Amino acid sequence: GWPTCSIASEITAIVMEEGFDDLDAPVLRVTNEDVPLPYAANLEKKALIDAKKIVATVKKIV
């Protein structure tokens, strides 16, 4: 989903509110780009989340 008004933002809010004292690092959202989903296949591929973006976010935290 998108970074705002999505399940990702709700999960992030719950984790920060309920488990803040147990966290070792801040919660980061790994989401699609914050743009309307393009129709063109090449642009859609760039807008959607993929393994490369997930790995980059994990490395940022660790």
Residue 1 has pLDDT above 90, yes or no: no
C-beta of residue 42 within 8 angstroms of C-beta of residue 13: no
Q: How far apart are CA 20 and CA 50, in angstroms?
A: 27
The two structure tokens encoding residue 9:
């933002």
Residue ranges of domains in the chain? 7-61
- Is pTM beyond 0.85 here? no
Each residue of 4-61: pLDDT tens digit?
Answer: 888 888 998 999 999 989 988 888 888 899 899 899 999 999 999 999 999 998 998 8
Return the CATH fold of 7-61: Rossmann fold (3.40.50)
